[in-house]
């Protein structure tokens, strides 16, 4: 297919999504922003995606939490465990590229939404199952949540002050990374299916994502017996200085990830002798003498305000930044310059402002649709996409395809 001028990158992709809460919807959000048609299947027995009911800023079946993860998508209410609902699901599979879900690891098999179950319906379908622990292994039937995974995968042991309790990240990073990994798996699977004429399963898990993100501390541990430890003020485990520093009126972050930055920092502090001091001459020496160096830097940084230091260090070419709160982060001129806030219009909440997707492929979308109301796209999906007539829809409704018959 030759893309037409103005087409979004994934405009020729259709995904059927049995998704809920954060991880799955976060992954498909980026696909939707890139133009993919995401058709959310919402369970009538639970009132749809549980994210609709997350407080605060929630009313009836709408919430700002749900808006966060579901812009540019469509919604249909469907009971996929009901025989009539299954018929509708399979009709959707016939005209789609991927079956995407985020459920417990044993559920995709039970719901028959794996490639083995769907290949007779559409041999090119890509079945992406984002689960807590994967579809194999001793934990596959356990529910997986970000907080639990951050503890289980070792993240919390690396986060926080050395003398404090283990801590989780302030954001649900396992969920979000898992969603991104699932989205990458999905587009890769569709590419292969179109090339080879055969679909597949993509068995993605939050556990896998969390373990994978351990990166170099894990390699150090697995190969050299390194024991990861927490350092004061969120300091890097081996690069010094690279951490928070107190100033006369607050905190700043300074990072010397290259020797040239250390040389520049010593000059900016008006302490050029530090750069040639044998205790601090290179990465290894500074790490060995971390406590001595940080004490010297602490005393120096306390002599000026944070703004004064940031101006001085930026001019010197030293990586640095303020410790913003959320309000300050969105007020930063660079946030506006990068177009990192998008707007949708909602009948209950009015104009909803939210973070843009960081995934950039060509020009960003000129506009966005709000998240769908529960079942809002039934006419489009059933009548427009599948070509069902009123009689067929009424028969399905009476059979319980969309929940208990009315």
Stated as kind and residue range, the H or E segment containing 268 is helix 259-268
Q: Would the pLDDT of 74 be above 90?
A: yes
Rg of the chain over all Cα atoms, to the nearest angstrom = 25
Cα gap 60→52, rounded to integer Å: 8
One of 117, 221, 231, 236 is an active-site residue; which one?
Answer: 236
Q: Could you tell me the domains of the chain?
A: 14-213+340-398 (3.40.50.10540), 234-322 (3.30.1540.10)
126-131 β-sheet, strand order? 74-77, 37-42, 14-18, 98-101, 126-131, 200-205
pLDDT at residue 4 in the model: 58
Q: What is the pTM of this model?
A: 0.93
pLDDT tens for 151-191 read 999 999 999 999 999 999 999 999 999 999 999 999 999 99
Report the chain's mean pLDDT, rounded to a whole number.
Answer: 96
Cα gap 317→337, rounded to integer Å: 21
363: helix, coil or strand?
coil
**Catalytic site residue 236?**
yes
Write b or e for each residue in 251-266: b if 16 or more Cβ atoms lie within 10 A of its Cβ, otherwise e: ebbbbbeeeebbbbbb
Q: Would the pLDDT of 381 be above 90?
A: yes
Q: Would the pLDDT of 20 be above 90?
A: yes
Q: Would the pLDDT of 406 be above 70?
A: no
Cα gap 300→246, rounded to integer Å: 10
């Amino acid at each position: 297919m030759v893309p037409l001028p103005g087409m979004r990158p994934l405009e020729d992709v259709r995904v059927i999504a049995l998704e809920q809460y954060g991880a799955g919807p976060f992954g498909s959000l980026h696909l939707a922003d890139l133009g993919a048609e995401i058709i959310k299947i919402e369970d009538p027995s639970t009132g749809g995606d549980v994210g609709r009911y997350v407080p605060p800023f929630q009313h009836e079946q709408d919430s700002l939490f749900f808006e966060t993860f579901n812009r540019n998508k469509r919604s249909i209410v469907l009971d996929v465990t009901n025989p009539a609902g299954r018929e509708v699901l399979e009709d959707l599979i016939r005209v789609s590229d991927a079956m995407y879900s985020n459920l417990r690891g044993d559920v995709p098999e039970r719901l028959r939404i794996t490639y083995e179950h769907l290949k007779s319906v559409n041999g090119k379908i890509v079945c992406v199952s984002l689960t807590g622990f994967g579809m194999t292994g001793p934990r596959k039937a356990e529910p997986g949540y970000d907080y639990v995974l951050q503890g289980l995968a070792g993240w919390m042991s690396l986060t926080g002050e050395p003398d404090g309790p283990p801590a989780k990240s302030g954001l649900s990073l396992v969920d979000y990374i898992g969603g991104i990994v699932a989205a990458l798996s999905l587009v890769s699977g569709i590419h292969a299916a179109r090339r080879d004429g055969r679909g597949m399963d993509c068995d993605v898990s939050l556990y896998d994502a969390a373990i994978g993100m351990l990166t170099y501390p894990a390699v150090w541990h697995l190969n050299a017996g390194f024991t990861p430890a927490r350092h004061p003020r969120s300091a890097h485990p081996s690069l010094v200085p690279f951490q928070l520093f107190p100033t006369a009126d607050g905190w700043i972050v300074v990072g010397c990830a290259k020797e040239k930055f250390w040389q520049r920092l010593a000059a900016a502090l008006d302490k050029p002798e530090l750069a040639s001091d044998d205790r601090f001459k290179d990465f290894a020496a500074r790490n060995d003498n971390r406590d001595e160096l940080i004490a010297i830097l602490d005393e120096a940084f306390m002599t000026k305000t944070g703004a004064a230091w940031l101006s001085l260090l930026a001019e010197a070419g030293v990586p640095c930044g303020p410790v913003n709160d959320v309000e300050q982060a969105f007020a930063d001129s660079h946030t506006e310059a990068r177009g990192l806030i998008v707007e949708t219009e909602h009948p209950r909440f009015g104009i909803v402002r939210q973070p843009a997707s960081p995934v950039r492929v060509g020009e960003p979308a000129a506009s966005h649709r709000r998240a769908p109301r529960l079942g809002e796209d039934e006419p489009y999906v059933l009548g427009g996409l599948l070509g069902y007539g009123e009689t067929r829809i009424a028969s399905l409704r009476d059979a319980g395809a969309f929940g208990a018959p009315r």
